[in-house]
């Protein structure tokens, strides 16, 4: 294949995140990063997607590939060729991989050197992040070349065709494709949600009240928590009715705005609730009457000693301690304490306004362009063929993602998760650096294998599916300059909004302070920020 001649770009940016490293160090049945599925697996889905008839599986037998990979910190297999999936793929294809394994603590420095070197590998797996790729596109082969993927990676093409938006996530504005997806492409129910509002069920039972469903009912419950010795230690003043943790992925105050019809679109990022998307149109949230009602209600709680104002300054450890020590009646959590007497719930903050939950149904969870092929590689077809074979069956994909110890296929071809005692073997699979798994490839969760708190979370999420965002912002590559423009706006914007929230809840909201807030949003480019996202949404839709 004719190589493309590219110019070196000297700007190197590397943010080596654990999410791009290869391996899977999570608890399969319970963790936020676990990928368990509720989809039904048919017999056909587990059958081999055959290679094109004219291309034999061992077509490139004897070829050697040089691939740079980043390992997870707890990966116990030093040589990636000793991993189960690598043995199977080499045996079938005859392609041998010479791995260069980077330690996550030094990957940024070593990658910078490698990208500048004249002696480049064929590919990087789980090493190059989106920013580095954006700033160095010309270093990586454009896989959009007509017929390339269709001929040498038809199984990969078929997988992407089954997932809404998969092609968008790897296609640049100029139509080029600089890398391939890895990991699970579509989230499962337990990963739809961020933190859930939770309440101490023992305290509720003690005061004889049901789980609150409205703001008035929550207020009455919190007053009872404040005025009674809920923990029975003889001191009525050491209980905290409601606590939170500003800026924390699990406990930010914006999670509480759900009750007022404001729900963040993505997990773990509270600032995502500063906007939303409806039918392709970006809409504001922090200038609405719903947002003001949220601030006014939480100010009322603060004024009456029902809200823990330390939440604006406390650390994640302090927040965690208040939950585990059971001194707080209400808080938000991913799953902590849901197996220790706490009940997830959602309440309606405003009559006629449906509450929301932070998260997104069926959100995209794959790792974007985690496999990138260098422009100088002379083994592009062989590498795609190697990856295509690993993508050819549900069984091989799962062995790559979790190892054969992490799943089982029954006599009917249905794929199931297995208990987590096989976690060591799962860690030594490729994890998030495996070929992409679609919903059809994912094992169904046996509820009896879920840890108790995971089962509580799972059940609540499924029961309240309609309260999550059903439409998400596109996940796609953007021009580096445009990304810098957005990031520049966000520094002052996010600082202002978080400060305003703290002040409004602590000191209250008046007509004058609200009018000033609306003017200040213009000054800190809130509407320019919304316009930026609208332009992005429109651009991706037109690709």
Residue 468 belongs to what H/E stretch?
strand 468-469
The last residue of a domain, from among 463, 486, 515: 463
Q: Are 426 and 24 in contact (CB under 8 A)?
A: yes
Q: Which domain holds residue 133?
A: 54-188+366-463
- Residue 9 placed within a domain: no
C-beta atoms surrounding 226 within 10 Å = 19
Residues 231 and 280 placed together within one structural domain of the fold: yes
Per-residue model confidence (pLDDT) at position 362: 86
Residues 221 and 342 placed together within one structural domain of the fold: yes
Residues 332 and 238: their CA atoms lie apart, in Å, by 20
Banded model confidence at residue 74, pLDDT cuts 50, 70, 90: confident
- Residue 71 placed within a domain: yes
Distances (CA, A) of 239 to 5, 197, 318: 67, 18, 15
Banded model confidence at residue 425, pLDDT cuts 50, 70, 90: low
- Find the length of the chain: 543
Banded model confidence at residue 134, pLDDT cuts 50, 70, 90: confident
Q: Are 536 and 478 in contact (CB under 8 A)?
A: yes
Strands, E assignment, 103-242: 123-125, 180-182, 196-200, 240-242
Q: Mind listing the pLDDT tens digit for each residue in 163-190? A: 988 999 999 989 999 999 999 898 888 8
Q: Mind listing the pLDDT tens digit for each residue in 20-33? A: 466 543 333 333 33
The last residue of a domain, from among 463, 487, 514: 463
- Residue 35 placed within a domain: no
Residues 342 and 398 placed together within one structural domain of the fold: no
Residue 304 has pLDDT above 50, yes or no: yes
The CA-CA-CA angle for residues 167, 86, 93, to 5°, reads: 80
User: Mean pLDDT, to the nearest integer, of 241-258?
Assistant: 95
Residues 159 and 275: their CA atoms lie apart, in Å, by 31
- Residue 220 placed within a domain: yes
Per-residue model confidence (pLDDT) at position 42: 37
Residues 455 and 507 placed together within one structural domain of the fold: no
**pTM attached to this predicted model:** 0.82
Residues 254 and 373 placed together within one structural domain of the fold: no
The CA-CA-CA angle for residues 460, 162, 447, to 5°, reads: 30
- Residue 392 placed within a domain: yes
Q: HSE (CB half, 13 Å, CA atoms) of 213?
A: 1
Residues 390 and 291 placed together within one structural domain of the fold: no
Per-residue model confidence (pLDDT) at position 27: 33
Residues 378 and 287 placed together within one structural domain of the fold: no
Per-residue model confidence (pLDDT) at position 314: 97
Per-residue model confidence (pLDDT) at position 448: 75
Residues 420 and 406: their CA atoms lie apart, in Å, by 8
Q: Mind listing the pLDDT tens digit for each residue in 521-539? A: 999 999 999 999 999 999 9
Banded model confidence at residue 46, pLDDT cuts 50, 70, 90: very low
Per-residue model confidence (pLDDT) at position 18: 36
Residues 129 and 182 placed together within one structural domain of the fold: yes
- Residue 115 placed within a domain: yes
The last residue of a domain, from among 397, 429, 463: 463
Q: Supply the CATH number for residue 211's domain.
A: 3.40.190.10
Average pLDDT across the chain, whole number: 87
Residue 58 has pLDDT above 70, yes or no: yes
Per-residue model confidence (pLDDT) at position 445: 76
Q: Mind listing the pLDDT tens digit for each residue in 322-338? A: 999 999 999 999 999 99
DSSP summary character for residue 277? E
Residues 334 and 370 placed together within one structural domain of the fold: no
Residues 98 and 156 placed together within one structural domain of the fold: yes
Residues 267 and 379 placed together within one structural domain of the fold: no
Per-residue model confidence (pLDDT) at position 202: 96
C-beta atoms surrounding 50 within 10 Å = 10
Quick one: how many helices (H) and strands (E) in the chain? 17, 15
Residues 253 and 338 placed together within one structural domain of the fold: yes
Residue 14 has pLDDT above 80, yes or no: no
- Residue 428 placed within a domain: yes
- Residue 81 placed within a domain: yes
Per-residue model confidence (pLDDT) at position 190: 81
Residue 422 has pLDDT above 80, yes or no: no
**Percent of the chain's residues with pLDDT above 70:** 89
Per-residue model confidence (pLDDT) at position 423: 57
Residue 201 has pLDDT above 50, yes or no: yes
What's the structural domain count of the chain?
2
Banded model confidence at residue 68, pLDDT cuts 50, 70, 90: very high
């Amino acid at each position: 294949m004719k190589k493309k001649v590219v110019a070196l770009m000297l700007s190197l940016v590397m943010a080596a995140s654990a999410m791009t490293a290869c391996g899977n160090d999570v608890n399969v049945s319970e963790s936020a990063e676990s990928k368990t599925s509720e989809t039904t697996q048919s017999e056909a889905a587990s059958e081999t997607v055959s290679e094109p008839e004219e291309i034999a599986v061992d077509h490139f037998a004897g070829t050697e590939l040089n691939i740079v990979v980043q390992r997870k910190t707890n990966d116990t297999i030093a040589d990636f060729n000793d991993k189960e999936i690598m043995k199977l793929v080499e045996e079938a294809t005859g392609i041998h991989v010479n791995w260069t394994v980077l330690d996550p603590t030094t990957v940024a420095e070593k990658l910078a050197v490698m990208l500048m070197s004249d002696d480049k590998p064929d590919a990087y797996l789980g090493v190059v992040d989106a920013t580095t790729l954006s700033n160095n596109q010309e270093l990586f082969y454009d896989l959009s070349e007509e017929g390339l993927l269709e001929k040498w990676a038809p199984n990969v093409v078929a997988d992407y065709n089954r997932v809404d938006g998969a092609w968008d996530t790897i296609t640049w504005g100029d139509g080029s494709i600089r890398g391939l997806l890895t990991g699970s492409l579509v989230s499962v129910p337990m990963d739809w949600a961020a933190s859930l509002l939770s309440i101490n069920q023992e305290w509720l039972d003690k005061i004889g009240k049901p789980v609150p469903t409205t703001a008035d009912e929550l207020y009455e419950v919190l007053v009872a928590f404040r005025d009674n010795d809920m923990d029975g230690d003889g001191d009525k003043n050491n209980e905290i009715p409601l606590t939170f943790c500003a800026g924390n992925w699990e406990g930010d105050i914006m999670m509480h705005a759900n009750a007022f019809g404001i729900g963040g679109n993505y997990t773990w990022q509270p600032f995502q609730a500063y906007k939303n998307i409806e039918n392709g149109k970006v809409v504001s949230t922090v200038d609405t009457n719903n947002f003001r009602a949220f601030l006014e209600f939480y100010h009322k709680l603060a004024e009456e000693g029902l809200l823990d104002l330390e939440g604006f300054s406390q650390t994640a450890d302090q927040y965690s301690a208040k939950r585990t020590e059971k001194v707080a009646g209400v808080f938000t959590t991913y799953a902590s304490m849901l197996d220790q007497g706490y009940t997830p719930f959602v309440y309606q903050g405003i009559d006629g306004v449906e509450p929301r939950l932070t998260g997104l149904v069926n959100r995209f969870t794959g790792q974007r362009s985690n496999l990138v092929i260098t422009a100088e590689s002379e083994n592009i077809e062989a590498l795609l063929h190697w990856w295509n074979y690993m993508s050819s069956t549900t069984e091989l994909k799962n062995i790559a993602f979790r190892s054969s110890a992490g799943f089982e296929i029954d006599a009917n071809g249905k794929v199931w998760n297995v208990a987590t005692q096989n976690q060591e073997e799962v860690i030594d699979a490729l994890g998030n650096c495996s070929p992409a798994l679609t919903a059809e490839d994912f094992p169904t969760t046996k509820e009896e294998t879920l840890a108790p708190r995971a089962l509580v979370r799972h059940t609540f999420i499924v029961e309240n599916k309609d309260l999550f965002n059903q439409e998400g912002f596109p996940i796609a590559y953007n021009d580096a300059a445009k990304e810098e423009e957005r990031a520049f706006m966000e520094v002052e914007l996010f600082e202002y909004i978080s400060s305003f929230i703290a002040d409004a809840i602590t000191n209250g909201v008046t007509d004058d302070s609200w009018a000033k807030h609306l003017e200040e949003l213009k000054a800190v480019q809130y509407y320019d920020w919304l316009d930026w996202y609208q332009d992005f949404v429109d651009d991706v839709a037109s690709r």
